[in-house]
């Protein structure tokens, strides 16, 4: 079993806790992890970009001038692609960017990302996380106690608390998610992962 320190909000050690090595101590599978990151990023793309081709732009119903005798190059429509205001050729159309990855691969990817965090000493486990007031200053004070003021932090909790949500939402360097929403992109996209003890236990139950 891998051991990590359990801290309180003041950054003081409470005790040591054991982490499940099958989840937090595996050898990262870089290929599957990379595929999961690409999948997650692709899922964020809306794919709604669109331009009009020559059949969709308005106007240009008649030939601008006769075929021969004018000295101009022959033209069939003022909405051809070479005209200003004409249609566009080879430009984006709506599409679905989503990719597929089976359940086993997704679990391997999350285990790999979590193990990377542990190996790099970028996982902090708190005994509890709650505030008396919904003030941002309380969250800033907690991050300062944990020496995370200049870090991008992923904060994982088992359940949302109103004060916690309100205290976190104005901080640009903080991502707050539930344990059942944990994903590869958030894990690898932040400098440090901070999780409550309850959240860690929940993750271990789901991924075992």
Rounded CA separation 164/153 (Å): 14
pLDDT digits (tens, 9 = 90+) for 88-108: 999 999 999 988 999 999 999
Give pLDDT, residue 76: 92
The phi and psi torsions of 5 (rounded to 5 degrees) equal -80, 140
152/115 same-domain check: yes
Asked if pLDDT for residue 60 goes beyond 70, the answer is: yes
DSSP 28: P
pLDDT above 70 (res 1)? no
Please check whether residues 32 and 84 belong to one and the same domain.
Answer: no
* Co-location of 106 and 156 in the same domain: yes
CATH for 181: 3.40.1370.10
Buried b (16+ CB within 10 A) or exposed e, 157-191: bbeeeebbebbbeeeeebbbbebeebbbbbbbebe
Task: Reply yes or no on whether the pLDDT at 196 is more than 70.
Answer: yes
As a whole number of angstroms, the distance between CA 74 and CA 88 comes to: 19
Tell whether 104 and 144 lie within a shared domain. yes
Place of tokens 């001038």: 65
User: Within this chain, do residues 22 and 59 fall inside the same structural domain, yes or no?
Assistant: no
Q: Are residues 126 and 186 in the same domain?
A: yes
Number of domains in the chain: 2
| Average pLDDT along the chain | 92
Residue 2's pLDDT is: 79
Band the pLDDT of 69: cuts 50, 70, 90. very high
Q: Are residues 38 and 61 in the same domain?
A: no
| Cα dihedral 15, 18, 23, 27 in deg (nearest 10) | 100
User: What pLDDT sits at residue 169?
Assistant: 92
Same domain, 87 and 59: yes
27 shares its domain with 124: yes
**Residues 110 and 9 occupy one common structural domain:** yes
Q: How confident is the model at residue 208 (pLDDT cuts 50, 70, 90)?
A: confident
Q: Which domain holds residue 41?
A: 2-46+98-207
Q: Are 207 and 27 in contact (CB under 8 A)?
A: no
Res. 165: pLDDT tops 70? yes
192 with 124: CB under 8 angstroms?
Answer: yes
Indicate whether 102 and 20 sit together in one domain: yes
Last residue of a domain, one of 91, 115, 149: 91
170: confidence class by pLDDT, cuts 50, 70, 90: very high
Q: What is the mean predicted confidence (pLDDT) over 182-188? A: 94
Based on the fold, state whether residues 69 and 23 are members of the same structural domain. no
Asked whether the predicted pLDDT for residue 8 surpasses 80, the reply is: yes
From 34, 65, 91, give the residue that closes a domain: 91
> What whole-number distance in Å separates Cα of residue 199 and Cα of residue 10?
19
- Looking at the DSSP assignment, which residues form a beta bridge with residue 176? 155
Encode pLDDT of 107-123 as tens digits: 999 999 999 999 999 99
β-bridge pairing 2-7 and 13-19 = antiparallel
Percentage of residues of the chain with pLDDT beyond 90: 83
């Amino acid at each position: 079993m891998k051991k990590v320190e359990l801290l309180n909000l003041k950054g003081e050690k409470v005790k040591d806790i054991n982490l499940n090595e099958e989840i937090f101590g595996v050898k990262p599978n870089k290929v599957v992890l990379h595929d999961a990151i690409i999948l997650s990023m692709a899922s964020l793309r809306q794919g709604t970009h669109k331009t009009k081709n020559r059949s969709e732009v308005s106007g240009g119903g008649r030939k601008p001038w006769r075929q021969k005798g004018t000295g101009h190059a022959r033209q069939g429509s003022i909405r051809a692609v070479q005209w200003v205001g004409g249609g566009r050729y080879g430009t984006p159309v709506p599409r679905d960017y989503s990719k597929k990855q089976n359940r086993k691969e997704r679990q391997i990817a999350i285990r790999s990302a979590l193990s990377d965090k542990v190996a790099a000493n970028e996982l902090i486990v708190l005994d509890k996380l709650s505030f008396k007031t919904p003030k941002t200053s309380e969250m800033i004070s907690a991050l300062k106690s944990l020496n995370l003021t200049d870090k991008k932090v992923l904060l994982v909790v088992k359940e949302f608390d109103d004060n916690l949500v309100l205290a976190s939402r104005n901080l640009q360097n903080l991502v707050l998610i539930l344990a059942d929403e944990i994903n590869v992109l958030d894990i690898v996209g932040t400098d440090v992962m901070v999780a409550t003890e309850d959240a860690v236990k929940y993750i271990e139950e789901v991924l075992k």
